[in-house]
Amino acid sequence: MRVTFTANGREVTADEVWEGESLLYVLRERLGLPGSKNACEQGECGSCTVRLDGVPVCSCLVAAGQAQGREVETVEGLARGEGELAPIQQAFVEAGAVQCGFCTPGLLVAADDLLKHNPQPDDADIREALSGNLCRCTGYEKILDAVRLAAARSAAAGTGGAV
Amino acid sequence: MTATRCPEPTPTHAAASSAGIGASTLRPDGILKVTGEFAYSSDLWHEDMLWGHTLRSPHAHAEIRGIDVTEAVRMPGVHAVLTHDDLPAATHYGLEFADQPVLAKDRVRFHGEPVAFVAADHPETARRAAAKIKVAYAPLPPVTDEASATGPDAVLIHPGRHDHRSDAVPHPNIVHHQPVIRGDDGAWAAAKARADVVVAADYEVGMQDQAFLGPESGLAVPAEDGGIDLYIATQWLHVDRQQLAPVLGLPEEKVRLTLSGVGGAFGAREDMSMQAPACLLAMHTGRPVKMVYNRYESFFGHVHRHPAKLHYEHGATKDGEILYVEYRIVLDGGAYASSSASVVGNAASLGAGPYDIPHVRGEALALYTNNPPCGAMRGFGAVQACFAYEAQLDKLAAKLGMDRVELRRRNAVGEGSLMPTGQEIDQPAPVAELLRRVKALPLPPERDGGWGRAAAGEDVDVRSLPGGLSNTSHGEGIRRGVGYAVGIKNVGYSEGFDDYSTAKVRLEAVAGEPVVLVHTAMAEVGQGGVTVHAQIARTELGVDRVTIHPADTQVGSAGSTSACRQTYMTGGAVKHTCELVREELLRRGRERLAHRHPAWLAGVELVLESGKVCTHDGEPIADLVEVLGEEPIEIEAEFHHRPTEPFHPRTGQGAGHVQYSFCAHRAVVEVDTDLGLVKVVELAAAQDVGKALNPLSVVGQIHGGSTQGLGLALMEEIQVSADGALIRNPSFTDYLIPTILDTPPMPVDILELADGNAPYGLRGVGEAPTLSSTPAVMSAIRDATGLALDRVPLRPEHIAGHVSG
């Protein structure tokens, strides 16, 4: 089948999609967007988190056909432009929140979504919002640092949740 | 190579003066990793590529009576189906023993053993074709424990076994056995007689999984010269190649490996997984083949941490002087040897812990069984023992009526102490100081008035309670506990193995600026080796621009990214090679520019700083680029650590280890004693790292290691059915690893006491925190509940119903 949707603001089409393929597979293997990761493919680890019509979902649990005509935002769409990282991306790099980095794309989408809805989260809020994203390298301490850093910078810049 | 995504050189650019060793320089691959552009081994793509898949045994132990591939081969889209009979050359491989079949022939020995490989044009087609293969199995009773492995009628897992350990083992189903004996028999008897207090118990450690997030994956591309190019996530490129070339029937130089992005490792990538099948399928079809395990298959596709049964007995005087320790550690190695023999060496030699105990009778062994194969995981044989000996120390302190930390401090090793192997610790060993530091940290505050008022109806944020958002408690039955533990881990490969590393360093002028290219085969698995290599090159050569070449087999071996050894060994190789480059540069300077400044010939030390050659007191005497001239300097050199010795087969005596590493933890927990749920409130660590080359990365290692230890204490276990040796929980739904809600704040205190033998005095850091974290958490729960708790992971039923009012 053919599937057409908007990925990071650009209309994309995949042909010869088998009905059993997930949105994650189509993004990674058919559309050249492998940033979303395939760590468990059963909705437990959050590495494949994308926004579907603005709502964070595990793209491994979304059938590709369900994305037809909808808007998908992946980690590749977070940066503001060529060479300019989003504040949450910059904060992850600076805080040491990235080691192997396999969980990073999903965590970035989840953290970005948290800050959009709650620009000044306390630690309990951050932990709750990121509890669907597994990381095996960092013990999460530096991930918390990164989210705190991004939130503090947006407060200082008066940009609210626009991170 | 026309793959659209393959590893590229990583340029780094930072001031040599501020981004050398000791600075928290940011990772050069960080930006690619946050934008999603970093190419992991599962992200690779090649025009015309096929997808590989493995058919695995549903039985732990069975005879194969026949394999019929007819239907699978006929499926549209299927390009190859391979069974044992199709293998072109060597049929077995392995890290230390070549005992593992590439494909099972007439017998399968564990649940998940590969039986056939399939290549097809879509991964689902490959999976469906594999399901069409008919294998006639005749199930056999599985060997599952020490009794069934070494009893009188035990079935041999590897009949006719012939390897470098087979003559010395007490039974063919024992991979390796290592005793450690300190003190003679008379002294031993006297020590036992002198003991005022004796503590003896049996302990058990479950099977932990490394659970890296990036699944086993890679891309094999057949080359025009008849060879193969493999893009792969691994821990050691050269040892993969060494095992792979005979299986493919190719000379090593035609098997070229390049490291792809690696999504974590923790030991699980030491053994090969999809390397051989992808290459075999690519050679068979003449087309590139990609293989990616899903999480289910990953649980069958790599070795795990050895589950263990341990017996310990300690005897001490009434003043708390430990007189003797006796231990027996039985590790289940599963169906194939992997690195079990080395794990045994660690368990035996480190089994007494970081304590100076004059009389030791210890032994460790690994079994062959039909359980899942076990091998390397962070901590490597030292984790199981640390849980047991630290539980013993808690119990001994309780029996003596002594403070737990004071008992440990009193018996702690220090610099100059002898290990039970007779090896002197000839480097700082600040065990007592690490314990003092974690104990001195302020305790996290308790809820005002305790949890009682909350239980009585006061508003409470359940997220801070055991059970969390499951809303299982509002404070009823909650008790706090504090626990301590300390551990000892070796750094580097041991027992006489020369695990050298190699670095190639090129210094050249590009557009009038000095540029360094560092090329090693080090597997960057997330630990940050690429960051540190650039820092070392900046420090040694005084340049700002350093590029890290992709790791591949076109340069000499770097050894494995394991055993906390890469910063020591490949960092050491980069340092050593940079020193040779500097010598050559200064030789050119003396030859060409001696007339310009007397310092060239004065025999004084010259240093490289900020792109200049300077005298020791900082006077610049030439531009580096000018000294270098048109011709680059390129040197490849090896770095070796000091030699070690094998352990004596009967006494375990020998200077077997390169270096020791120490970490101490204090855990604070709150336990719901009614339901047996645990919330770790804080997990503080103190560790001696010798020299922190990159403090941010060092802290990250300690956090990550501590969290994996917490997981072993409270949740992580591969459940294997006792009767059938089948894995029951191969998914992240059923195999739980700590989430951000399970993981507490983790303050880290870093000591830097230099080890004079190591580059920059550094000490490997990655594993020690994984050791002491588990027993510290258990110690805290012991403190809260008063229970013995002799097994990890803890289960709710070990607490619920057992705690007295």
Nearest by CB to A85, which of B31, B527, B705? Answer: B31
B498 interface with A at CB cutoff 8 Å: no
CA dihedral B505, B509, B511, B515 (to 10 degrees): 30
- Any bridge partners for residue B660, and if so which? B490
Helix ranges restricted to H, B379-442: 382-400, 404-411, 431-440
Q: Is the ipTM of this complex over 0.90?
A: yes
Residue B635 pLDDT > 60, yes or no?
yes
Find all residues with CB under 8 Å of B477, minimum gap 6, and list them: B672, B673, B674, B675
B527 interface with A at CB cutoff 8 Å: yes
State the average pLDDT for chain B. 96
Q: Residues A12, A68: one domain?
A: yes
3-class DSSP state of B178? strand
pLDDT for B455 equals 65
pLDDT for B141 equals 96
Q: Residues A61, A110: one domain?
A: no
Q: Do B294 and A134 touch (CB under 8 A)?
A: no
Which CA distances in Å does B86 have to B49, B91, B585?
21, 10, 54
Q: Are strands B289-292 and B50-56 parallel, antiparallel or unpaired?
A: parallel
Q: Do A128 and B704 touch (CB under 8 A)?
A: no
Gap between the Cα atoms of B483 and A51, Å rounded:
42
Gap between the Cα atoms of B463 and B334, Å rounded:
40
What's the structural domain count of chain A?
2
CB B100 within 8 A of CB B244: no
Q: Residues A110, A133: one domain?
A: yes
Residue A102 lies in a domain: yes
pLDDT in tens, B196-255: 999 999 999 999 999 999 999 999 999 999 999 999 999 999 999 999 999 999 999 999
Residue A163 pLDDT > 70, yes or no?
no
Residue A17 lies in a domain: yes
Q: Residues A106, A128: one domain?
A: yes
Q: Cα distance from A157 to chain B (closest Cα, Å)? A: 22
Lowest mean pLDDT among A75-79, B383-387, B459-463: B459-463
Q: Residues A98, A136: one domain?
A: yes
Q: Residues A51, A111: one domain?
A: no
Mean pLDDT of B300-315: 98
- Which of A77, A99, A115 is a domain's end point? A77
Residue B624's nearest CA partner among B513, B537, B545 is: B513
Q: Residues A48, A98: one domain?
A: no
A71 interface with B at CB cutoff 8 Å: no
Q: Do A136 and B31 touch (CB under 8 A)?
A: no
Residue B747 pLDDT > 50, yes or no?
yes
Residue A163 lies in a domain: no
Q: Residues A46, A100: one domain?
A: no
Of all residues in chain B, what percent carry a pLDDT higher than 90?
93
> What domains appear along chain B, each with residue ranges and CATH number?
50-140+215-262+269-301 (3.90.1170.50), 388-489+658-798 (3.30.365.10), 499-639 (3.30.365.10)
- Which of A77, A95, A128 is a domain's end point? A77
Mean pLDDT of B775-783: 98
Mean pLDDT of B528-553: 97
Mean pLDDT of A96-111: 98
Which CA distances in Å does A98 have to A5, A144, B27, B389, B573?
30, 12, 8, 34, 25
Residue A135 pLDDT > 50, yes or no?
yes
Residue A106 lies in a domain: yes
Q: Do A42 and B731 touch (CB under 8 A)?
A: yes
Residue B355: phi and psi, rounded to 5, are -125, 145
pLDDT for B1 equals 40
pLDDT in tens, B93-122: 999 999 999 999 999 999 999 999 999 999
Of all residues in chain A, what percent carry a pLDDT higher than 70?
97
Q: What is the CATH number of the domain that holds A68?
A: 3.10.20.30
pLDDT for B408 equals 98
B733 interface with A at CB cutoff 8 Å: yes
A103 interface with B at CB cutoff 8 Å: yes
Residue A40 lies in a domain: yes
pLDDT in tens, B567-625: 999 999 999 999 999 999 999 999 999 999 999 988 889 999 999 999 988 999 999 99
Position B15 confidence tier, pLDDT thresholds 50, 70, 90: confident
Q: Is the dihedral of CA B270, B272, B274, B278 positive or negative?
A: positive
Query: Which residues from chain A sit within 8 angstroms of residue B5, using beta carbons?
Result: 34
Residue B17: phi and psi, rounded to 5, are -70, -30
pLDDT for B2 equals 43
Residue B726 pLDDT > 60, yes or no?
yes
Residue A82 lies in a domain: no
Q: Cα distance from A159 to chain B (closest Cα, Å)? A: 21
Domain that holds residue A38: 3-77
Position B487 confidence tier, pLDDT thresholds 50, 70, 90: very high
What is the number of CB-based contacts under 8 A between chain A and chain B? 182
pLDDT for A142 equals 98
Q: Residues A95, A47: one domain?
A: no
pLDDT for B800 equals 95
Nearest by CB to B263, which of A32, A102, A131? Answer: A102
Find all residues with CB under 8 Å of A88, minimum gap 6, and list them: A78, A108, A111, A112, A115, A146, A147, A150, A163
Residue A13 lies in a domain: yes
pLDDT for B44 equals 96
Q: Residues A71, A95: one domain?
A: no
pLDDT for B17 equals 75
Gap between the Cα atoms of B667 and B687, Å rounded:
15
Q: What is the CATH number of the domain that holds A151?
A: 1.10.150.120
- Token pair 């368990």 in the structure block, residue: B347
Q: Cα distance from A162 to chain B (closest Cα, Å)? A: 18
- Any bridge partners for residue B552, and if so which? B258
Residue A11 lies in a domain: yes
pLDDT in tens, B117-158: 999 999 999 999 999 999 999 999 999 999 999 999 999 999
Position B456 confidence tier, pLDDT thresholds 50, 70, 90: low
Q: Residues A56, A110: one domain?
A: no
Q: Residues A93, A120: one domain?
A: yes
- Which of A25, A59, A77 is a domain's end point? A77
pLDDT for A159 equals 67
pLDDT for B80 equals 98
